[in-house]
A and B are shown apart, each in its own frame.
Chain A
Amino acid sequence: MEPVKNAIRMENITKRFGSVVANNGINLELHEGEILSLLGENGSGKTTLMNMLSGIYYPDEGQIYVHDKPVTIASPKDAFDNGIGMIHQHFKLVDVFTATENIVLGLEEEGRLDLKKAGQKVKEICEKYGFDIQPNQKIYDMSVSQKQTVEIVKVLYRGADILILDEPTAVLTPQETDKLFAIMRNMQRDGKSLIIITHKLHEVLDVSDRVAILRKGEYIGDVATKDANQQSLTDMMVGRSVSLNIDRPLPVNPTPRLVLEHVTAYDELGVKRLDDVSFTANSGEILGIAGVAGSGQKELLESIAGLYPVKEGKILYYDPDVDYAETDESGQPKHRPLSLVGMDPMDIRKAGIAMSFVPEDRLGMGLVGTMGMTGNMMLRSWRKGKGVFVDTKGPEELANRIWKELEVVTPSTKFPVRRMSGGNVQKVLVGREIAQEPAVLMTAYAVRGLDINTSYTIYNLLTEQKMKGRAVVYVGEDLDVLLELCDRIVVLCGGQVSGVVDGRTITKEEVGLLMTQHRKEGAE
């Protein structure tokens, strides 16, 4: 066997943020012409490590070698000069620029700016690898997958031969993911070396040649993909054996709790975000919402919570303590469900509806970053105090309970939540919302950024809520989880409901297909 050549060798890399050690003495190799998966839970330091290759961070200790030559990567420009290109998880694109403008950004080429010529070169790259973008299209007109393509073309345009993709599939449908993997293999055949960060195990097994695993900032080891399976990788990643099954009891006595009829909503730019959405969320059931990022999930939840203006349609709430089957003398129903359209969150609360909402933007909408756990608990209870003073005792107790029960890592309940890690922030928020004993619990990406262990804690909490007869709405991005956790799944596509399916019988491929299928072109 001929000796493997290293495209990248990282030797003894350490990076600290304040007192937190994000990477501790890491040794990592990327062989030439291979696809390496970098696997690890959130907070294990994958992105930090890769950011040191792309010049965003600078290592505190250690040495990086590119093609066996020691190099210093102090800025993104140094990374480009060494042929390293990174496709970030959060796209680094300027919205009001065209694809080409974004691609040539920061390049120091000779002569004046010739966007036509650059556009031509972009076209050539697209044809070579099978990309589908228009050089003159503005970024804000593009789909997520197209934006990602622009990012990839950007690094190829710069002649990168080492590509790092940071969770590229998080925002893609299964079909788009397959396309991306095909492109990655194309690039590999072209002699490029690739690193892909992901925590979806089946993707790791699908696309990579070798897997390197990080845990809590330490390098655990590597394994050839052909010798690995989901269980062995999880055990390495978590450090102990973890059960990968989510317990899914049958729904208890499901009755309609929340009924949406033909809900249509527009954003402030006049773009239709929800288009004739109808479905029912039952009590004692977890209703999943699936869809490509930006298909209307956020708008849907916010419409229900009274945060988003609904233009047409009805949102009806059935109180669990009211018997809607009762009729008066004339045979008419005695009680009618409450209409939520036009109510703001305060109205909803005043109407006696216990609704909890775990928003996607935790620190923006869910919590106040500069306040501690206690202060954040108080956001839910400040009306309860007597007189002009707020009651701090109750919130303090709740904060302490969540701290212990959900194993939140924080020095004290007064420590600003902004400075906690993403997973802990999420625990604080979910813990607070569940403590409200809501009739309806809505969560948007409740496990985003959480490690496997914590994710399972959250899944169990949600299932517990369901068994207590609450209507749980779970917006998720990981289809495997949606299929294991939810009783029924509403699939959104471009603001429309493309299907309401049974979580127990549907396959991932079918959901994936629905995610890209507009109703108008669909079977219906």
Chain B
Amino acid sequence: MTAQFLALMNSAIAFGTVIMLGALGEILIEKAGNLNLGIPGIMYLGAIGGLIAAFFYELNGGTSPVVGLILSFVSCILFAAFGGLIYAFLTITLRANQNVTGLTLTIFGGGMANFFGGSLNKLAGGVGQISVPITSSAYIAYTPLGYMGTLGTLLFAHGFMAYLAIILAVLLSRFLNRTRTGLNLRSVGESPATADAAGINVTAYKYLSIIIGAAIAGLGGLFYTMDYIKGTWANDGTIEGLGWLAVALVIFATWKPLNAIWGSYLFGLVYWAYLYIPGLNRSSLELFKMLPYAITLVVLIIVSLRKKRENLPPASLGLSYFREER
């Protein structure tokens, strides 16, 4: 019983970490007033970016887990930030429709990642042959505390990125609510004309928050390849599904990073619950996988019934801003 519970909790936390990182990135982006539906694509880009670096490092005889980790981490951030840059340029400078741009980016990111994934497979000698065990080991490793009983396994038997995600959430929350820059950033998302009149560089704030947000979301993809599926590549569309859950989680968390922490674990828990419920067949199992979305819907309904202004999305979410518009 305890073993089963622990296994469920640990898969929930791993699953939650992926979408938490995606959601944190999206929160930062949405707080600046941009609705980025390209998060799945960006997570794809981050995932393949990290994998490419690790793969070539190990292909060329690299043996240090730490070097592999640093290379893949940096490469992931660059790839994901590049995806964010495309989105930012299109929506801010060219003022393209945010929804269309985001959806396109999701398709682009998925296609790009699977293209490279296919190429890497070829280099590795066949489908399903990619493996970066050395780099992956650095991501999966945990301290001896993780072996100390039930509590130890529950709290400490996770790769470092699980903790990084929590730290990021806390930092992001403090940044948004306690700092001058955070206040300015929120004003850009609420009312860019107000921010502009107050002397805030709306364009710069939007660009930076999108690019940094994309980098954070990309880490979700990295965690997925390196830790969740242990340094391999799966072109089955899982990352895209996780990306959409991350977007749903932003709404679930009512745009608050701290809510994203427990929200993501809850999503993980209900997502994996089917494994531990006896008597499910292939179709009823899919019903359970739907639960996170159902919960998001319920939260949306509750939030809109409670009518609290602070729980609503940023007022200018999804709108382009042009100063001289009349």
Contact = CB atoms under 8 A, between A and B. Distances in A.
Question: Do the two chains belong together in a single complex?
Answer: yes
Interface of A: 17, 54-57, 75-77, 79-80, 86, 88, 92-97, 101-102, 104-109, 112-113, 138, 140, 154, 269-270
Nearest to A96: B309
Contacts of A96: 190, 309-310, 312, 315
Contact of B307 (A55, A57, A113, A270): A270
Nearest to A20: B326
A107 B307 contact: no
Q: Which of B179, B186, B194, B198 has the most CB of A within 10 A?
A: B198
B176 to A, nearest CB: 11
Contact of A92 (B183, B194, B324, B326): B194
Contact of A109 (B180, B184, B191, B324): B180
A86 B178 CA distance: 27
Given A54-B197, A88-B197, A95 B190 contact: yes
B199 A17 contact: no
A76 B197 contact: yes
Interface in B296-316: 307, 309-310, 312, 315
B36 interface: no
A138 B312 CA distance: 15
B184 A105 contact: yes
A140 B310 CA distance: 11
Contacts of A57: 324
6 contacts: A17-B324, A94-B191, A97-B187, A101-B183, A105-B187, A108-B180
B200 interface: yes
Given A76-B196, A95-B191, 9 more contacts: A76-B197, A94-B190, A95-B190, A97-B183, A106-B187, A106-B195, A106-B198, A113-B178, A154-B198
Contacts of B199: 55, 75-77, 79-80, 106
Nearest to A101: B183
Contacts, number: 78
Q: Give the contact-size bracket for chain B.
A: 20 to 34
A113 B180 contact: yes
B178 A97 contact: no
Interface of B: 178-180, 183-184, 186-187, 190-191, 193-200, 307, 309-310, 312, 315, 323-324, 326
Nearest to B197: A92
Contacts of A154: 198
A77 B315 CA distance: 23
Q: Which A-B residue pairs are the 3 nearest by beta carbons?
A: A106-B198, A77-B199, A92-B194
A117 to B, nearest CB: 13
A449 B38 CA distance: 41
A105 B199 CA distance: 9
A283 B245 CA distance: 59
A115 to B, nearest CB: 9
B198 A76 contact: yes
B179 A94 contact: no
B213 to A, nearest CB: 20
A105 B195 CA distance: 7
A102 B184 CA distance: 10
Contacts of A109: 180
B309 A94 contact: no
A54 B196 CA distance: 11
Given A95-B190, A97-B187, A105-B183, A140 B309 contact: yes
B309 A95 contact: yes
A105 B194 contact: yes
Given A94-B194, A105-B184, A17 B326 contact: yes
A104 B184 CA distance: 9
A102 B326 CA distance: 24
B203 to A, nearest CB: 11
Nearest to B177: A113
A106 B190 CA distance: 14
Nearest to A106: B198
Contacts of A80: 199
Contacts of A77: 199
A97 B195 CA distance: 12
Contact of B198 (A105, A112, A270): A105
Contacts of B190: 94-97
A75 B203 CA distance: 13
Contacts of B312: 96
A88 B198 CA distance: 12
Contact of B191 (A92, A101, A104, A113): A92
B194 A93 contact: yes
Nearest to B307: A269
Contacts of B315: 94-96
A104 B183 contact: yes
A75 B323 CA distance: 11
A94 B307 contact: no
A7 to B, nearest CB: 20
Contact of B180 (A75, A97, A112): A112
Q: Which of B183, B193, B197, B309 has the most CB of A within 10 A?
A: B197
A487 B248 CA distance: 56
